[in-house]
Amino acid sequence: MELIFDTHAHYDDETFDDDRDALLASFAENGVGTVVNVAASLSSCETTVALAKAYPFIYAAVGVHPTETAELETLENEDGNRAAAVDPLSRVRELLNEEKTVALGEIGLDYYWDEPERGIQKKWFVRQLALAKETGYPVIIHSREAAKDTLDIMKAEHAGETGGVIHCFSYGVEIAREYLDMGYYLGIGGVLTYKNAKKLLEVVEYAPLDRLVLETDSPYLTPVPNRGKRNSSLYLPAVVAVMAQLKGMTEEEIIRATAENARRLYRLDERLQ
């Protein structure tokens, strides 16, 4: 039986400090087989890789979230005053070489919080896209209330060459079509179960099944009926149920298809050969 593949989680988050080992140990018996833990800051790049090393079913993605790019800007400004400047992304580059690192992310633009200022977010988005192209890794894209700028930058930087996933996809069918045409996957999580998810329901119905992957973004975006609680991969069956209904398929078929998609997205089959 195929097990659920959670393509985007944050199990290094402090909200899991009290019961992380017990929770992760429960996954296999509850139908969860693989997790990609995704970094958001330079420090979480370290904890993410450490977590992947500690658990055979966890893989890592390293990168700097748009709302954390001020730390990169600060490092660059500090280094600019030295004789030999150090690339603020040098540690990300090093961690991409770790055996269980499978993607660069999450990176992108976030205009909901709108800080640091947009110019800084764009600058480091472009630089991380360039690093992905240089190293050959797929990217995990965070785009919140920044549809046009995200798409414009990705087209300008030929981000279709790297491939990847639009994490927590939150736009309509028109934007979905653009990303699907670029060869990207769409990350679908707990929002699909919300009452105000009309746009996302339309996107999931429209998108080819072979371009959809499951994700939690745990500890965030917990699906109904557990909304309000800390999220985990154990709640993904609620998302599977809605997706199965939209696609007219069984839940087992959805789990199998999305797991196959996730392995292609992160090129796991190539790594295991």
Looking at the predicted structure, is the pLDDT value of residue 169 above 60?
yes
pLDDT in tens, 13-62: 999 999 999 999 999 999 999 999 999 999 999 999 999 999 999 999 99
- C-alpha–C-alpha distance, residues 110 and 86, integer Å: 26
Domain count, the chain: 1
Which amino acid, one-letter code, is at 213? V
Tell me, what's the pLDDT at 80?
Answer: 57
Domain containing 146 equals 4-272
* Strand 32-38 to 58-62 pairing: parallel
- The pTM of the full predicted model, rounded to 2 decimals, is 0.96
Check whether the bond before 116 is cis (ω within 30° of 0): yes
User: Residue 259's CB: how many other CB atoms inside 10 A?
Assistant: 20
Q: Specify whether the CB–CB gap between 10 and 40 falls below 8 A.
A: yes
User: Residue 50's CB: how many other CB atoms inside 10 A?
Assistant: 13
Tell me, what's the pLDDT at 79?
Answer: 59
- C-alpha–C-alpha distance, residues 273 and 6, integer Å: 22
pLDDT in tens, 11-21: 999 999 999 99
Q: DSSP letter at 231?
A: P
**In this structure, what CATH number is given to the domain that contains residue 61?**
3.20.20.140
Looking at the predicted structure, is the pLDDT value of residue 139 above 80?
yes
Tell me, what's the pLDDT at 1?
Answer: 85
- C-alpha–C-alpha distance, residues 157 and 168, integer Å: 22
- C-alpha–C-alpha distance, residues 21 and 18, integer Å: 9
